[in-house]
Amino acid sequence: MIFPKAMCDVKGKGKFNGDRPIILTGEQLKLLALKISKFRHDVANDLTVLHTVAEITGRLHPDTAPRMNVILRNSEKINQTVRLFTFELEQLLGVRGELPENMGG
């Protein structure tokens, strides 16, 4: 379990209790950092597939190009949003250094 039981409410509903500090061990923090990194990587891979399919579809079927362009633009936006969020989360957790310049922020 990544998060200790102390961060859940006392009724056991699994809701975050903002009144108590969250304490993570070094091992838990390392596991969380790995999961964040894997999430970012998996989303980027899935969006790359979507981007490629939209690009090829737009070329093979020019009548779909306007719709495929929307997919292409949105897949880039999604990827940038996920990257920015995960980098900021890693920075907050202290498991990443400065935000790269090309990430905006």
Q: Is residue 75 part of a domain?
A: yes
**Could you tell me the residue range of the domain that residue 93 belongs to?**
34-98
**Tokens, residue 100:** 């790269």
31: part of which helix (H) or strand (E)? helix 26-60
Q: Is 89 within the bounds of a domain?
A: yes
Counting the structural domains of the chain, the total is 1
pTM of the model: 0.70
Tens of pLDDT, residues 16-40: 667 777 788 889 888 999 999 999 9
Listed residue (96, 53, 87) closest to 71, CA to CA: 53
Residue 87 within a domain: yes
Residue 25: inside a domain? no
In a domain, 77, yes or no: yes
State the pLDDT at residue 63.
Answer: 97
How many whole angstroms separate alpha carbon 11 and alpha carbon 9? 6
